[in-house]
Amino acid sequence: MIKAIFFDIDGTLLSHRTRTIPQSTQIALKRLRERGIYTFIATGRHISEMKDLPLDNLEFDGYITLNGQYCYNKNEVIYDLPIDQQDIHNIIQLIENDSFPCIFVEKELMYINYHNQAVQIVQDAISTPLPDINDLKRGYDNPIYQVIPYDITQDDEAKILEAMPHCKKTRWHDLAIDVIPSQGGKQNGILKVLDYYNISIDETMAFGDGHNDIDMFELVKIAVAMGNASQEVKDAADETTNDIDDDGIYHCLKKHHLI
């Protein structure tokens, strides 16, 4: 029996075509909670970004954010995993020597060194304002949970990962990647949350559409790719549902007799 369901945000809960959460999805989430099924967000986003999204009328039992690096519920922080401090020192030096736009993500803040057209394109694609500009040297004194380089070549990407040996990357846009601790990821965050709530993996389900959902799909009992997902993500899932704008979540939950 499914007791917990994990939902990505972008392209899964939130349609960037309509910039809304489909009404059918809102109904489905409400019915899940009425049946006592736990619902969780599992996203690469930061808490400050989610405040700008139309999530206010939705209630979740917990939040796995920053690709699993910061997990919490309304009562407390369940788990957090910052990037190795030497890796942060290294990427700051790398950016000073060969500048590119890069977001640093702290517990309460996320900020970038500068904006360019690539940053604007990416932020528009995810219906999110441009991040505030700040000094990346804050990373010398504050834990950083995620680094987001923009507008980089494959050679640049290789240099970043070489400078951050305790980290790995996941791509979520042609012009941007997320860099997180190598032992991190949505999968790791989910495991911590399941342990907290005493739920087994055999009682889990997840919906997603992006590359950073693949490790989550490898963990849960039933992995569902949205119809708008890439073929790589669909191949990693147990099944594929309709597009987000064609009531994909509602139809799948109905098929599994969960609503």
For the chain, state the CA radius of gyration.
18
Where is pLDDT greater, at 253 or 55?
Answer: 253
Say whether pLDDT at 151 is over 80: yes
Q: Which residues are catalytic?
A: 8
Portion of the chain with pLDDT greater than 90, in percent:
83
Q: Which domains can be identified in the chain, with CATH numbers?
A: 4-81+184-255 (3.40.50.1000), 85-181 (3.30.1240.10)
| Percentages of the chain per state (helix, strand, coil), in multiples of 5 | 35, 25, 40
> What's the pLDDT at 19?
87
Say whether pLDDT at 219 is over 80: yes
The whole-model pTM stands at: 0.86
Q: How far apart are CA 87 and CA 83, in angstroms?
A: 7
Q: How far apart are CA 244 and CA 17, in angstroms?
A: 10
Look at strands 4-7 and 204-208 and give their pairing. Answer: parallel
> What's the pLDDT at 52?
77
> What's the pLDDT at 50?
83
> What's the pLDDT at 13?
96
- Mean pLDDT for 116-125 is 93
Tokens 């559409």 map to which residue?
A: 209
Say whether pLDDT at 135 is over 90: yes
13-70 pLDDT, tens digit per residue, is 999 889 899 999 999 999 999 999 999 999 988 888 888 788 878 999 999 999 899 9
> How distant, in Å, are the alpha carbons of 121, 177, 189, 192, 193 from that of 196?
38, 29, 11, 6, 5
**Nearest in space to 10 (alpha carbons), one of 24, 21, 25:** 21
174-212 pLDDT, tens digit per residue, is 899 999 999 988 999 999 999 999 999 999 999 999 988
Question: pLDDT band at residue 127, thresholds of 50, 70 and 90?
Answer: confident
58-108 pLDDT, tens digit per residue, is 999 999 999 899 999 999 999 999 999 999 999 999 999 999 999 999 988
